[in-house]
A and B are shown apart, each in its own frame.
Chain A
């Protein structure tokens, strides 16, 4: 039953994506997958830019006075901040899906530093080599990664240097941690930077020639993220708090999409290699992927049917998913070692 549901969901998610007959065909499908998510990243980043423009417009309408803006438009500003956070998560999820590939390819690795993993120029190593020009003309030299150094702490109010005023965004009567209005100039500049660099990544990704090392790297870096996503689904139900990010749709839908992508990459590009050297290992990994997708699909079906999960059930499901993913990764890494594959990142 579980397998049947999985097959149905996978078909829905990847309709039209034919499984490859050869490693070469599989590698091409990996590239197509990466470009697809890169395009989605651009779309989400553009929506983030729109949200940042809306936020900045509300501040500008009050002459740049954040206190006055909050007094005049609390509802619109609260919605604007929530929109920025939601778009941040949407864009970040798209990037995380292809981070393993982007970071693993020499010609695109610099984008991983700029978008997600780089340090500011004040650090000794891993510096994101770019400057960010803000709408008011200010140039931030080597400011760090757009996702984690700049926008994440900005949108969630933990970048104290750019907090403008505390604000009761959720209307519960007090400004709780993270409930702030932040620098609109930086928010808009960073969102514009996100769009710019996501597009630059797309250009270089389009020029990339896929290869075996990158395919293996993608599978072993992306598959273990199931625990994070499953965990967010689980935690959102029982810990309350800032659930805005997960109200639009169940996190399980994201899990299904991302893990389906991992399964596709394994089946298309990695399996032909593993099967040649160790058919039993390939069969084990294939079965584990089927089991993982089935577990997520079945849980999503139950959730869609209105079932509520106890904390113990949610935990058990999350642990089971993570265990399967870790089993997959350990086996793929063993196959990689047998086949002399270099895992990057």
Chain B
């Protein structure tokens, strides 16, 4: 009774308030400008070239030889694409994590840039062949029509950010088996979202934001290894190289796909986006396959060079300078974490074991197992004409004198050690000559010098050591498994710099061998 009286008392004010609110909402709807059409037709990009022609069905291939696709079939207006720095206004933690990643500098890193240029020089008549590289390294540049002999589209911050927020968060399709950038991106959704409420107003009406960046197919892909596979599988053929027979060059996703990890439902994201990737790997090694509590945007991987904060100013130059939205202090802070996590992850991947040691009249025979303990893909993986691992094996006598050595730290040798047991692939040109500077466009064949080690697998390496006469025991065995991200020849040839490239110690073994002199 009392309540009804109060309602009657306030009825007029409530009705007026409701009418005002409805009027306000309707006014806002009426005042909101109609969504502008998004997308740019190819014909509106002056001098955009299609030097490789249509596909077999006669369909134009604006991004070939990359398999990248635009969801709408349109190009994008770079001024309407949100940069990661803009996303960082609200998603600050994710932005700063990402800023330390290799994804953030995929199109800025100096070594990559110089290598693309070297490839372009190898085929000066068709600079558009670089679309093969840029599809994965610079999707925003590609979808804006800037990867072209004549660049008639202006620059913007969003185009400099490599694999950025909008790359993954607008993906609508990805094909890890096909690779070569087989990903479809709905950048048009990101462009359209610019006309919707931004900033604080976005919280009141997040529908457009969710439609743009959290569409159901995108959300499903974000959890899928297929998304990663679209760029972490690289196959050379006549469209992008001189390979008459398809040459699998980078097969990281395929290696994972046939592994124990895939069967357990452990995806790329579970390790490389874990907030502590090394701890996650160690947990998996211990049999705990639980998903991470939080996914980070660091995408921690194996690039120990471009996260090496010990390089000082050179690191900043190699990484292509400061990202939009970052300053020196925040860059250093995020790179310090990235560096620690990269180092720890690399050290969680491999192991060494001495399986056998026998001495007879011919000398000493050692069986050393190199184990892939924590990587859900081969060791090494990626572009393995550059990324490689090798063994250093040293035997010393009781006086500490070296009686045998195979391999050595790259810093000491300065060049690839031909005597070392090395897991590396060689790119060969059409005359069978080795290309050590990642000249994709000139590569005709790719061969492994020693097959990489599959997930949870091992490679037992035999050393038959002819010991010098009179070698007395007991001997001490020291083994190191080294990893290096690139060959010095790549840096010298493409960057014209005689830069020391640090090697990374992934695993060590130190054993006093039983004295079994014959």
Partners in one complex: yes
* CA of A122 to CA of B495, assembled, Å: 27
Among A174, A239, A314, the residue within 8 A (CB) of B499 is: A239
Q: Which of B110-161 contact A (CB under 8 A)?
A: 110, 121, 124-125, 149-155, 160
On whether the beta carbons of A235 and B47 are closer than 8 Å, the reply is no
On whether the beta carbons of A238 and B313 are closer than 8 Å, the reply is yes
**In the assembled complex, which residues on chain A have CB atoms less than 8 Å from the CB atom of B430?**
122
Q: A312-B328, A326-B155 are in contact. Are A126 and B497 (CB under 8 A)?
A: no
**In the assembled complex, which residues on chain B have CB atoms less than 8 Å from the CB atom of A125?**
125
**In the assembled complex, which residues on chain B have CB atoms less than 8 Å from the CB atom of A240?**
314, 497-499
Q: CB-CB contacts of A114-127 with B at 8 A, as 1s and 0s? A: 00110000100110
Q: How many residues of A contact B (CB 8 A)?
A: 46
Among A239, A334, A345, the residue within 8 A (CB) of B314 is: A239
Binds A, one of B270-278, B315-323, B476-484: B315-323
On whether the beta carbons of A336 and B47 are closer than 8 Å, the reply is yes
* CA of A122 to CA of B242, assembled, Å: 13
Q: A310-B313, A316-B321, A319-B321 are in contact. Are A239 and B495 (CB under 8 A)?
A: yes
**In the assembled complex, which residues on chain B have CB atoms less than 8 Å from the CB atom of A333?**
46-47, 150-152
Which residues from chain B sit less than 8 Å from chain A, CB to CB? 46-47, 110, 121, 124-125, 149-155, 160, 313-314, 316-318, 320-322, 328, 414-415, 430-431, 433, 437, 488-489, 492-493, 495-499
Among B46, B124, B414, B492, the residue within 8 A (CB) of A174 is: B414
Q: Which of A219-252 contact B (CB under 8 A)?
A: 220-221, 224, 234-235, 238-242, 245
**In the assembled complex, which residues on chain B have CB atoms less than 8 Å from the CB atom of A336?**
46-47
CB distance from A327 to the nearest CB of B (A): 5
On whether the beta carbons of B433 and A160 are closer than 8 Å, the reply is yes
Q: Is A254 in contact with chain B by the CB < 8 A criterion?
A: no
On whether the beta carbons of B498 and A235 are closer than 8 Å, the reply is no
* CA of A343 to CA of B313, assembled, Å: 40
* CA of A178 to CA of B47, assembled, Å: 39
CB distance from A336 to the nearest CB of B (A): 7
9 contacts across the A-B interface (CB closer than 8 A): A122-B430, A156-B493, A176-B488, A177-B415, A235-B497, A239-B495, A311-B321, A312-B328, A345-B149
On whether the beta carbons of B496 and A315 are closer than 8 Å, the reply is no
Prevailing SS type, chain B contact patch = loop
On whether the beta carbons of B151 and A242 are closer than 8 Å, the reply is no
CB distance from A103 to the nearest CB of B (A): 9
On whether the beta carbons of B314 and A327 are closer than 8 Å, the reply is no
CB distance from A340 to the nearest CB of B (A): 11
On whether the beta carbons of A326 and B313 are closer than 8 Å, the reply is no
Q: Which residue of A is nearest B331, CB measured? A: A312
On whether the beta carbons of B125 and A126 are closer than 8 Å, the reply is yes
Among A117, A239, A312, A329, the residue within 8 A (CB) of B321 is: A312
* CA of A263 to CA of B249, assembled, Å: 44
On whether the beta carbons of B151 and A326 are closer than 8 Å, the reply is yes
On whether the beta carbons of B492 and A178 are closer than 8 Å, the reply is yes
Q: A239-B499, A311-B316, A312-B328 are in contact. Are A318 and B489 (CB under 8 A)?
A: no
On whether the beta carbons of A241 and B321 are closer than 8 Å, the reply is no
On whether the beta carbons of A329 and B433 are closer than 8 Å, the reply is no
* CA of A156 to CA of B328, assembled, Å: 36
CB distance from B387 to the nearest CB of A (A): 18
**In the assembled complex, which residues on chain B have CB atoms less than 8 Å from the CB atom of A331?**
154
Q: Which residue of A is nearest B319, CB measured? A: A315
**In the assembled complex, which residues on chain A have CB atoms less than 8 Å from the CB atom of B492?**
156, 158, 176-178, 241-242
**In the assembled complex, which residues on chain B have CB atoms less than 8 Å from the CB atom of A323?**
155
Q: A148-B121, A316-B321 are in contact. Are A329 and B496 (CB under 8 A)?
A: no
Most interface-central of B47, B493, B498 (chain A CB within 10 A):
B498
Q: Is A25 in contact with chain B by the CB < 8 A criterion?
A: no
Apart from A238-B314, A334-B152, list 9 A-B contacts with CB within 8 A. A156-B493, A177-B493, A235-B110, A235-B317, A240-B499, A241-B492, A315-B316, A319-B321, A345-B150
CB distance from A141 to the nearest CB of B (A): 16
Q: A160-B433, A177-B492, A220-B150 are in contact. Are A238 and B124 (CB under 8 A)?
A: no
**In the assembled complex, which residues on chain B have CB atoms less than 8 Å from the CB atom of A310?**
313
* CA of A242 to CA of B499, assembled, Å: 9
**In the assembled complex, which residues on chain A have CB atoms less than 8 Å from the CB atom of B314?**
238-240, 311
Q: Is A68 in contact with chain B by the CB < 8 A criterion?
A: no
Q: Which residue of A is nearest B46, CB measured? A: A337
Among A158, A312, A326, A337, the residue within 8 A (CB) of B493 is: A158
